[in-house]
Amino acid sequence: MPILLLANMFLGIYINLSIWYRLSRKTTAGAYITLIGAGITIAVNFIFIPYYSYMACAWATFLCYGTMMVISYVWGQKSYPVPYAWKKLLAYMVIVVILYFIHHAIAVIWHVPALNYTVATFFVLMFSLFIYRVERKEFDNLLKMRRKSA
C-alpha cells in the first residue's frame, strides 16, 4: 500500500530530523510533536474508521507522520538550523509517486502480470540510474572513504 510506504518514509525522515531537539537539549519538543501526532492519529481514526475501515488507519498514519516530519523540520530550522537538501528529497518523492501512478495506470489498462512486472522493474532501474547520476559525487566519496578504511 503506497500510503503506508510514504508514511513510513515520513517517519524515517522525522527520526533523522529529530536530532535537533536532542542536540539543543529541547527534548520536550519531541514530546509535543509526538502528542500532536498521537492526536491526529486518534482523531482521524475515530472519525473515519466507521466509514472507510482500515484505509482510514493508513491515512491516519500518513497524516500523523507527515505532520510530525513537517513540524520537526520547521521548528528545528528555527532552533538548530541544518542546511538539508529538502528540495532534492522532495523532488525524489514526487518522481516516485508519479512513477507509481503511471505504473498503476498501466496495470489497470493491461492486466498482463509479465508486462506489469517488466514495467515496474524498468521504472526501478531507471530511477536508480537517475539517482546515481544525480548523486554521483556522493557515491564516489563513499567509495573513497571505504577504500581508505579498508
Residue 128: the pLDDT is 96
Could you give phi then psi for residue 48, rounded to 5 degrees?
-105, -15
Question: What's residue 53's pLDDT?
Answer: 95
Question: Which regions in the chain score pLDDT beneath 50?
Answer: none
The span from the CA of 143 to the CA of 10, in Å, is 28
User: For the chain, how far is it from start to end, CA to CA, in angstroms?
Assistant: 40
pLDDT reported for residue 16: 95
* pLDDT of 139: 87
pLDDT for the residue numbered 150: 67
**What is the length of the chain?**
150
Q: Contact 72/33 with Cβ under 8 angstroms? A: yes
Supply the pLDDT for residue 149: 78
Answer yes or no: are the C-beta atoms of 73 and 33 closer than 8 Å: no
pTM beyond 0.75, yes or no: yes
Q: How many C-beta neighbours within 10 Å does residue 85 have?
A: 9
How many CB atoms within 10 Å of residue 93?
14
Query: Where does the chain have alpha helices with state H?
Result: 2-17, 19-23, 28-52, 54-79, 86-109, 113-134, 136-149
